[in-house]
Amino acid sequence: MPHRLTRLHVLLFILTSMTTLMAGTLMQGIVPWEKPEKIYLGFPFSISIMTILIAHELSHYFISRRHNVSVTLPYFIPAPSMIGTFGAIIKMSPPIYDRRSLIDIGAAGPIGGFIISVTAVIIGLNYSASIPLGTAKGGFSLGSSILFSFLSETILRIDPEKYDVLLHPIAFAGWIGLFITSINLLPVGQLDGGHIAYAVFGEKHRWTTTLVIISLFILGLTYWEGWMLWAVLLTLISRSHPPVVYPEVPLDRKRKLMGLASFLIFVITFIPLPFGA
C-alpha cells in the first residue's frame, strides 16, 4: 500500500506539471498541441506555480512530521483550468497533541507559500510591462492586494491610477500564490486559518467562522459574486474543529507572534475584487 500511494503522488505531480505547462503555454498565445516545439514557453509559469504549491504543502508536511502527526505526501490536483491545477492537498490524521503543534502546522503552509509567492512576484514584475490605463485589449483584469499594489508601485514605479500592468507569467503565478494564501488563511473550519484560529481562540473560533462567512456573503453582494459561492461552500464544510489532546497547554510568545504574522499576511494579501472584466 505505501508503494502504491507513493506512485499515486508521483503520477499526480507529473500530470499537474504537464497541465500547468499547457496552461503556461496557452498564456503565451501558443496552442501547445498545434505547435509542440513552442511548449517550452510555458515553463516559467509552470515551474513558478508548482514551486509555490510544493513550498506550501511540504511546509505542512515537515512540520507535521516534526510534531509526530500522521500526514500524507501532497496530492497535486491537475485540472483543465486557466492555471492547469486546482492546487494540492495533504491529509492529516488526528490526534494533534496541543495548540502549539496546531498553530505550527496551520501556519507553516501559508508562510512557506507566501515567501515563494512574494519571490515570484518580485522576479516576475521585473519582466512585466506597463501600459496606459484602459488601452489593454481582451483578457480580464486582476485585482490587487495591499502587498501586490506596493510591490507593483515600488518595482515598476508607476501610478496605478494611470497605468495597467501586463503581468509576466512568473508574476501571475506569484499573484495566484498570494491569492491562494489569503483563501487558506480565512479563519474558518479546517482551512489553515481555521487551525490557527482554533489554536488562538479555542472553541470560541466558531464566532470567527460565523463572522467570516457573513462577511463573505456581504463581499459577494458588493464586490465579487464568487465570494458568495465561497461562503456557501465554507458553510457546508465548516464543521467543528477536532479538539487537541491537551488543550490546557498555552501558546507561548513565539506562537502568538506566529498567529499575528499569519493574520497580517491575510490582511495584506486579501483581494476584495480579485477578478474583473
Q: What is the pLDDT of residues 102-148, one digit of tens each?
A: 999 999 999 999 999 999 999 999 999 888 877 666 667 899 999 99
In this structure, what C-alpha cell is assigned to residue 274? 480579485
pLDDT at 164: 83
pLDDT mean across residues, the chain: 92
pLDDT at 94: 82
pLDDT at 136: 67
SS in 3 state form for 225-270?
CHHHHHHHHHHHHCCCCCCCCCCCCCCCHHHHHHHHHHHHHHHHHC
Whether the CB-CB separation of 151 and 121 falls below 8 Å is answered with yes
* Of 55, 109, 126, 54, nearest in space to 265 by CA: 109
pLDDT at 4: 56
